[in-house]
Amino acid sequence: MNERIKEILSWYKSDNPGTLRNLYRILMQGKLGGTGKMVILPVDQGFEHGPARSFAPNLPGYDPAYHVKLAIDANLNAHAAPLGSMEIIAKEYAGQIPLILKANSHDVLDKCSDPAPAMTASVEDAVRLGCSAIGFTIYPGSIYFKQMYEEVSSMALEAKMEGLVVVIWSYPRGSSLSKEGETAIDVVAYAAQIAAQLGAHFIKVKPPSEHIELDEARKVYEKYNIPIASLADRIKHVVQSAFDGKRIVIFSGGPAKGREEVLEEIKQINAGGAFGSIIGRNSFQRPREDALKFLDEVINIYKG
């Protein structure tokens, strides 16, 4: 174990040996193993956005096995998926790459402006399927925040008792926020702090914009001249907001974009001190060979 991995594990002294083992396994997996950086392939979009929107651009993606094979062949750190997909792949692939069970889900058939994901899997499922981690989405800004925070807090405790890593997708959304506010720098930094306080080992957030949503926050950003002009500055601030960098913060790839646009964004994310990326549609919607090449380019950015 090198000094960087020892340092990261030292931030989680309250965790049991089983959780530390799974943290170590994810941190040491794939081409970025041992660097303290990671790239994860999440494929929950079939549930979250619908099958055609997610998989029609690359037809093999309708099969969950396609995605885990892609993650393995690209030498990524882990693969995340909901319960149904995990039940297809776990028996054959659980030993080949760390798996993250996405335990709650939301769909776009519900037009409510205040989302509240349903619990669609359990800690018991994650253990049964040989997963290294369990993941949850929360929507800070939704009027249902109390329900989400209490559910995730309770299940995170159960997960840690079973030796699992806890991953929180912290995505601000709801009637109290503007659309622009969902990725505002003050809101994304706040979302990272909330996930850290809920007990996450890994925190997934979206790359923040320069917009400031909350008037009281704007006064502080201006008073203390907090740098937010560049994406790298904003990434640094979000990582700082998760216990001064003592929680692993990774950034989503978002909607499918052009290759150069994604790679430039990842260069800025890396320059800001992020721990890595969790890239779904921008990888699996590409033809397999193109996806493998693209993911290799992403990995090389984080290798520095």
Sequence-ordered list of residues with C-beta below 8 angstroms from that of 210, at least 6 positions apart, any chain: 185, 228, 229, 234
**Per-residue DSSP letter, 180:** G
Q: Is 123 exposed, middle or buried (0-12, 13-18, 19+ CB in 10 A)?
A: buried
User: Catalytic: which of 66, 93, 171, 302?
Assistant: 171
Q: Is 93 a catalytic residue?
A: no
**Joined tokens for residue 48:** 């979250």
- Give the C-alpha separation, 286 to 198, whole Å: 35
- Decide if 183 contacts 207 (C-beta within 8 A): yes
Q: Buried b / exposed e across 34-55, counting CB within 10 Å, b at 16+? A: ebbbbbbbbbbbbbbbeeeebb
Q: Is 24 a catalytic residue?
A: no
User: Catalytic: which of 31, 204, 206, 236?
Assistant: 204
State the catalytic residues.
Answer: 171, 204
